[in-house]
């Protein structure tokens, strides 16, 4: 059972062996480290770059324009803010040239809090990413989705950003989230593809014969069905929403959890179908709350489903502070916690129009 | 390292170009100048919202366009140009009427379909990557195409060009670093066309380095500083620089002194500045002295080209504007990557 970060590695392996990926690159992405989270260990086309995020994004664009298939990484999304204009350019290549060029870049950058990452290893990137027209933005909450979304990103002719939640990178797959072809035993997989500690110069991975699974970009997943309220969420907040749903289930409240998986282009049909059924909706993410992507969802919910709602659509998100503070109390006060989600759900279902 | 100082008198015998080539270059330079002057007129007459272009850079940019290995894919040269490169495009074979179309933002504008300012080209079939307005970003992208050139194994190189003021951006430093990584040097010709300033700010107030090209030396790069107003110096220096990059598969930084004859853009008035050297005047003097072309023929060329472009601009004025319903076209591409990969490398088209 692959962890999310192993699933990313397996997808990159499939990408470079079968789907034409030519370059997997970024800071410390190549040997010997293979990524600060181990995401690119043992990959044939992985290489290290200078410590220059703008150079990474620019080079990825150049490679893509020249017919290569780059997968670039910004080590933490906290360090992608200085690349915004290059990201805008990548998103504008096709539109600005009236379709003359396209820009098939895959950019991976881990996001969010939950690893005690302090101010500059805890930022979210949802709002910035979804303000880049021309990009597709995907955010997995489990290993199989990470694997399948990354494969879909690799074969997409457009720039696609994969935002894996840092706190979930070591999360194990659930029972129905196995990658076809991976070994049953998680220790067996680790032995095959995790680089050993110490000297790695002679180490080569033994790749399992995993099969391709393309999780479609733009398709949400209903993680739990329910009739009383909908939580629309993604990434790190999906497991939290599931826990909250389990918690209120003991009180007789049945919550539906919709994992968007793709932020743009959004699976509005899935959101609409769920909210029309439950008539109550909580949008949940950990990005700062002002000009938050969830506000876009709340706007559409209000505009398009106003007469289907029994309660005001609610957004639960991170505090609008410059970063996530290191101290435990500060992090807990910054980003949504289980108690807060449960409380929001109770309030939502008890609201009387 | 080859370093020459700007305005160094060229050794005539070594530099002299064949008369036929000089005539060809002259014709392209005149066409480019007339095009820019027509674009300026169109803007001033309300047939276009903004003008920016390259009058004053025609000598060097024409040489560049003639020396490019033109085609599609990494076996050919990639061009990361900027909005002063009209003479390069024309020398490569672009239709000047397409530049008028972009100025008038017509649906028929082949570079952007009426979406971008004039002189913001995109020509995939010739490896001219989309020109964008942000200064210097092309220098961050150039290493990517240069990697593809190197990988392709032929003689294709990446050419990236920008102005002097833009070199203050971090992207210029990015390019220096990325194209000179030890053991991974890239076939990239970095060109700085130095017109001594930004929009209104003189370079001398902002830049302490003697020559921008000197920055390449810290990375072990071959560098040169040349006079881009002289067609023969420009052509020979560029030929030599390109040959080095093509053969050695290593980067080079070339600094080229050029004029800016109509200021930065329409934002600064776009009026003729007579104090700066005019590369066409300089070339025409040579052509007359060497009895290659008579004055009357050159004057006739200029008048005829001006008239042709005037007439073309009237026709372009009648071409339809893009329909608002096409707004979302091409936000996402549906190009088939698998098919595209199979057809790649077919060569020039």
Q: Where residue B268 falls among pLDDT bands split at 50, 70, 90?
A: confident
Q: Where residue A174 falls among pLDDT bands split at 50, 70, 90?
A: confident
DSSP for A87-105 reads HHHHHHHHHHTTTS-----
Placement of tokens 């290593």 in the chain: B250
**Distance from A23 to chain B by nearest Cα, in Å?**
10
- What is residue B5's predicted lDDT score, i.e. its pLDDT? 43
Contact residues on chain A for B148, CB-CB shorter than 8 A: 62-63, 66-68
Interface touch A62/B178, C-beta < 8 Å: no
**Nearest residue in B to A66, CA atom:** B145
Cβ-based contacts under 8 A for chains A and B: 155
B246, B157 contact by CB (below 8 A)? yes
Chain A residues within 8 Å of chain B (Cβ atoms): 20, 22-23, 49-50, 52, 54-55, 57-70, 85-86, 89, 92-104, 133-134, 136, 155, 157-158
pLDDT tens digits along B62-96 = 999 999 999 999 999 999 999 999 999 999 999 99
Residue A72 DSSP one-character state:
E
Interface touch A101/B129, C-beta < 8 Å: yes
- What is residue B8's predicted lDDT score, i.e. its pLDDT? 44
pLDDT tens digits along A220-251 = 999 999 999 999 999 999 999 999 999 999 99
Q: Give me the sign of the Cα torsion angle A149, A150, A151, A154.
A: positive
A329 shares its domain with A188: no
Burial class (CB in 10 A: 0-12, 13-18, 19+), B5: exposed
DSSP for B67-126 reads HS---SSTTS-EEE--TT-HHHHHHHT--HHHHHHHHTT-TT-TTTTT-S-TT---BGGG
Catalytic status, residue A121: yes
Give kind and range of the element (H or E) at residue A233.
strand A229-233
CATH code assigned at A78: 3.40.50.970
Interface touch B145/A55, C-beta < 8 Å: no
Total residues found in chain B within this entry: 349
Q: Cis peptide before A32, with omega less than 30 degrees from 0?
A: yes
A137 shares its domain with A259: no
Q: What is the mean pLDDT of residues B43-49?
A: 95
A104 shares its domain with A150: yes
A179 shares its domain with A248: no
Rounded to whole angstroms, the Cα distance separating A176 from A145 reads 11
Question: Least CB-CB distance to A55: which of B111, B174, B341?
Answer: B174
**Distance from A153 to chain B by nearest Cα, in Å?**
12
Q: Does B108 touch chain A (CB under 8 A)?
A: no
Asked if pLDDT for residue B210 goes beyond 60, the answer is: yes
Per DSSP, the three-state class of B244 is helix
For residue B86, count other CB atoms closer than 10 A to its CB: 29
In a domain, A185, yes or no: yes
Contact residues on chain B for A96, CB-CB shorter than 8 A: 112, 115-116, 120, 122, 130, 132
B126, B70 contact by CB (below 8 A)? yes
Helix, strand, coil content of chain B in percent (nearest 5):
45, 10, 45
Rounded to whole angstroms, the Cα distance separating A324 from B61 reads 51
Give me the residues paired with residue B162 across strands: B192
**Nearest residue in B to A99, CA atom:** B330
A129 shares its domain with A186: yes
Placement of tokens 């030396």 in the chain: B217
pLDDT tens digits along A2-53 = 999 999 999 999 999 999 999 999 999 999 999 999 999 999 999 999 999 9
Contact residues on chain B for A104, CB-CB shorter than 8 A: 337
Q: Which of residues A193, A209, A235 is at a domain's end?
A: A193
Give me the residues paired with residue B222 across strands: B252
B251, B186 contact by CB (below 8 A)? yes
Question: Least CB-CB distance to B145: which of A22, A66, A86?
Answer: A66
In a domain, A47, yes or no: yes
pLDDT tens digits along B314-333 = 999 999 999 999 999 999 99
Q: What total of structural domains would you count in chain A?
A: 2
A231 shares its domain with A137: no
Tokens of A348: 């939502």
Instruction: Please give the C-alpha separations between residue B77 and each of B117, B138, B156, in angstroms, as whole numbers.
Output: 25, 15, 5
Rounded to whole angstroms, the Cα distance separating B287 from B297 reads 11
A238 shares its domain with A140: no
**Distance from B224 to chain A by nearest Cα, in Å?**
24
Q: Which of B89, B113, B132, B141 to mutate to test the interface with A (most CBs of A within 10 A)?
A: B141
In degrees to the nearest 10, what's the CA dihedral of B34, B36, B37, B38? 80
CATH code assigned at A341: 3.40.50.920
A179 shares its domain with A244: no
Question: Least CB-CB distance to B144: which of A66, A134, A158?
Answer: A66
Q: What are φ and ψ of residue A162, in 5° steps? A: -105, 125
Which B positions 257-286 lie with beta carbon below 8 A of chain A? none
Question: Least CB-CB distance to B137: which of A66, A67, A89?
Answer: A89
In a domain, A247, yes or no: yes
Tokens of B261: 């004859």
**Distance from B113 to chain A by nearest Cα, in Å?**
6
Rounded to whole angstroms, the Cα distance separating A75 from A63 reads 19
Across chain B, mean pLDDT equals: 93
pLDDT tens digits along A289-306 = 999 999 999 999 999 999
Tokens of A24: 């997997």
**Distance from A65 to chain B by nearest Cα, in Å?**
7
Contact residues on chain B for A53, CB-CB shorter than 8 A: none
Across chain A, mean pLDDT equals: 97
Question: Least CB-CB distance to B171: which of A20, A54, A69?
Answer: A54
ipTM above 0.90, yes or no: yes
Secondary-structure class of domain B12-319 per CATH: alpha beta
Interface touch B111/A97, C-beta < 8 Å: yes
Tokens of B335: 């190009």
pLDDT tens digits along A324-342 = 999 999 999 999 999 999 9
A188 shares its domain with A252: no
Per DSSP, the three-state class of A221 is strand
Per DSSP, the three-state class of A138 is strand
A165 shares its domain with A255: no
Interface touch B147/A93, C-beta < 8 Å: no
Residue A169 DSSP one-character state:
T
**Distance from A26 to chain B by nearest Cα, in Å?**
12
**Cα within 13 Å of Cα(B111), Cβ side:** 29
A238 shares its domain with A311: yes
H-type helices in chain A, by residue range? 4-18, 53-65, 84-96, 126-130, 143-155, 186-193, 237-249, 268-278, 293-305, 328-334, 338-350
A9 shares its domain with A101: yes
Domain extent, residue A177, equals 4-193
Share of chain B above pLDDT 70, in %: 92
Which B positions 13-52 lie with beta carbon below 8 A of chain A? none
Interface touch B122/A97, C-beta < 8 Å: yes
Question: Least CB-CB distance to A101: which of B116, B122, B332?
Answer: B122
């Amino acid at each position: 059972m692959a962890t999310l970060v192993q699933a990313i590695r397996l997808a990159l392996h499939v990408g470079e062996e079968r789907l034409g990926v030519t370059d997997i690159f970024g800071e410390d992405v190549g040997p010997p480290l293979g990524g600060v989270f181990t995401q690119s260990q043992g990959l044939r086309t992985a290489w290290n770059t200078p410590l220059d995020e703008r150079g990474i994004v620019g080079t990825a664009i150049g490679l893509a324009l020249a017919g290569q298939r780059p997968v670039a990484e910004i080590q933490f999304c906290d360090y992608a803010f200085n690349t915004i204009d290059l990201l805008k350019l990548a998103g504008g290549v096709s539109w600005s040239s009236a379709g003359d060029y396209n820009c098939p870049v895959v950019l991976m950058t881990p996001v969010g809090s939950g690893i005690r990452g302090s101010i500059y290893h805890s930022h979210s990137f949802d709002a910035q990413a979804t303000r880049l027209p021309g990009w597709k933005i995907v955010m997995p909450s489990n290993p199989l989705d990470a694997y399948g979304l990354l494969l879909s990103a690799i074969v997409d002719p457009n720039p696609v950003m994969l935002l894996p939640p840092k706190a979930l990178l070591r999360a194990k797959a659930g029972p129905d989230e196995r990658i076809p072809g991976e070994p049953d035993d998680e220790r067996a997989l680790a032995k095959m593809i995790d680089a050993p500690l110490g000297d790695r110069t002679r180490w080569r991975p033994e790749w399992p014969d995993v099969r391709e699974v393309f999780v479609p970009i733009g398709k949400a997943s209903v993680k739990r069905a329910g009739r009383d309220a909908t939580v629309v969420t993604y990434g790190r907040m999906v497991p939290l929403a599931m826990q909250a749903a389990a918690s209120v289930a003991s009180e007789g409240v049945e919550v539906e959890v919709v994992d968007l998986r793709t932020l743009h282009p959004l699976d509005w049909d899935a959101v609409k179908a769920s909210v029309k059924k439950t008539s109550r909706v909580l949008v949940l993410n950990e990005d700062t709350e002002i000009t938050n992507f969830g506000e876009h969802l709340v706007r559409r919910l209000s505009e398009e489903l106003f007469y289907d709602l029994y309660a005001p659509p609610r957004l639960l998100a991170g505090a609008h502070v410059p970063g996530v503070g290191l101290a435990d109390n500060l992090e807990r006060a910054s980003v949504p916690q289980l108690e807060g989600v449960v409380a929001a759900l109770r309030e939502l279902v008890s609201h009387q129009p | 390292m080859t370093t020459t100082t700007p305005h160094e008198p060229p050794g005539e015998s070594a530099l002299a170009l064949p008369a036929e080539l000089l005539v060809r270059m002259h014709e392209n330079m005149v066409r480019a100048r007339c095009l820019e002057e027509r674009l300026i007129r169109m803007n001033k007459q309300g047939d276009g919202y903004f003008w920016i272009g390259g009058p004053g850079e025609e000598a060097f940019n024409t040489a560049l366009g003639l020396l490019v290995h033109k085609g599609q894919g990494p076996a050919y040269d990639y061009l990361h140009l900027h909005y002063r490169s009209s003479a390069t495009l024309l020398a490569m074979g672009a239709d000047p009427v397409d530049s008028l179309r972009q100025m008038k933002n017509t649906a028929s504008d082949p570079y952007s379909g009426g979406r971008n300012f004039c002189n913001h080209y995109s020509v995939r079939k010739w490896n001219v990557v989309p020109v964008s307005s942000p200064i210097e970003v092309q220098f961050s992208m150039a290493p990517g195409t240069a990697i593809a050139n190197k990988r392709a194994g032929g003689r294709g190189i990446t050419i990236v060009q920008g102005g002097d003021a833009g070199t203050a951006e971090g992207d210029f430093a990015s390019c220096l670093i990325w194209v000179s990584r030890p053991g991974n040097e890239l076939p990239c010709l970095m060109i700085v066309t130095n017109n001594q300033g930004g929009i209104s700010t003189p370079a001398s107030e902002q830049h302490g380095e003697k020559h921008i090209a000197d920055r390449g030396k810290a990375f072990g790069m071959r560098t040169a500083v040349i006079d881009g107003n002289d067609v023969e110096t420009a052509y020979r220096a560029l030929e030599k620089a390109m040959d080095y990059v093509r053969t050695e598969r290593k980067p080079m930084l070339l600094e080229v002194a050029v004029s800016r004859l109509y200021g930065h853009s329409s934002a600064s008035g776009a009026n003729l500045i007579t104090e700066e050297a005019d590369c066409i005047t300089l070339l025409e003097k040579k052509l007359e002295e060497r009895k290659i072309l008579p004055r009357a023929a050159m004057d006739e060329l200029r008048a005829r080209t001006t008239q042709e472009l005037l007439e073309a601009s009237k026709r372009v004025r009648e071409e339809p504007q893009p329909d608002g319903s096409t707004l979302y076209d091409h936000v996402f591409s549906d190009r088939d990557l698998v098919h595209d990969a199979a057809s790649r490398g077919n060569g020039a088209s």
